[in-house]
Structure 1
């Protein structure tokens, strides 16, 4: 099972998007665990190597450079969710983004 974590300011605004992503994953029988957490927990999660992919909410995209450096140490792919996909709560598009990132990572 692959683990996908979405980080935002407090971990709450991405909850609906996570629900949409889970629906799509279940519909297509994709074995993933998807969680939404506050950005403050990101480094803890990365250091425990408990994640296969990290996506940032558009509201914390300014933190991308900081988290990219930490993720590089563990070969964890990280990116920002597009404002459009986030704003429309397009779970399918965001799940596809995460799966593509996981498949392209050196970790696998």
Structure 2
């Protein structure tokens, strides 16, 4: 099972994206775990997930989170702002799974 973590400032706006991604995963019969949390939980949660997707509002923290994730061999990527704006869960899910490999 692939595990995807979404992070934003408080975990609120990404929770809507999680719902859209889970709907897409269900339609494709994919077994994935997708959750959203505020960025302050990053250090506690990074070992449990395959990839961390940052809400566009956290783009400025990408390098910092990427460096913190490196010892765990985890991927950190910023969600495409256009996909985020229209809540395109299918596209965000597909991109995350592609990055995980």
4+ residue segments displaced more than 2 Å: none
* Structure 1, gaps ≥5 residues long: 104-108
Greater percentage in helix: 2
Q: Distance in 1 between matches of 2:61 and 2:87?
A: 21
Instruction: Identify the match of residue 85 of structure 2 among 69, 84, 87.
Output: 87
Alignment of 1:67-78 (within 5 A): 67-78=65-76
Q: TM-score if structure 1 supplies the norm length?
A: 0.91
Give the superposition deviation at 1:99. Answer: 0.1
Q: TM-score if structure 2 supplies the norm length?
A: 0.97
CA deviations 1:19-52 (Å, max 9, x no partner) are 0000000010111000010000011112xx1001
Report the aligned-residue RMSD.
0.6
Q: Counterpart in 2 of 1:7?
A: 7
